[in-house]
Amino acid sequence: MPITIKATIEGYRRAGMAHSSEPTTHPDGTFTEAQIKQLKADPRISVSFSDKPLSDEDTSNKGAPSKGPMDGERISELVALIEGLDKEDPSLWKQDNTPKAAAFPAGVSAEERTQAWEAYLATLDISSSEDAPKDENSDGEK
């Protein structure tokens, strides 16, 4: 039976693929039982099933607005870049503990950086930047 998946974060990766923040219907057999359990258990993903078989003419996903130009591979590349940044190097991080634009290759847009950061946080399975570098003046002193 077809499975419809919607992620809370565009490009959020689970069960071996990046998921859209728009509902996307996948044909029967796309995911293993273990992957379906993983998807259902993830609070960042909503999963629904349909009794109606998905046909080649099904247009439920056609024309859905895109939330950005990034595909799963591009997000993965940028997440890997973020993971490789030196967390102790203040020249790479802003005060809010997000990577500076200069830490990314030329041509990476602000939207791409934001999507990659959100995907990175999702891989940490937290919704804050606890693993990001800490501001030395975090006690409020300047």
Kindly report, residue by residue over 18-40, the tens digit of the pLDDT.
Answer: 888 889 888 888 888 888 888 99
Paired residues of 6 in beta bridges: 46
Task: Kindly report, residue by residue over 105-124, the tens digit of the pLDDT.
Answer: 888 888 888 888 888 888 77
Tell me if 40 is assigned to some domain: yes
What confidence score (pLDDT) does residue 46 get?
Answer: 92
CA 46 to CA 7: how far, in whole Å? 6
- Domain of residue 91, residue span: 72-123
pTM of the model: 0.43
116 inside domain: yes
Distances from the Cα of 103 to the Cαs of 10, 66, 67, 78, 84, in angstroms? Answer: 22, 26, 23, 10, 10
Which two structure tokens, joined as six digits, stand for 53? 């078989």
Question: Tokens representing 90?
Answer: 């203040």
Same domain, 77 and 42: no
Residue 105 belongs to a domain:
yes
Q: What is the percent of the chain where pLDDT is above 70?
A: 74
pLDDT band for 45, please (50, 70, 90 cuts).
Answer: very high
In a domain, 131, yes or no: no
Establish if 17 belongs to a structural domain.
yes
How many structural domains does the chain have?
A: 2
Query: Does 43 lie in the same domain as 79?
Result: no
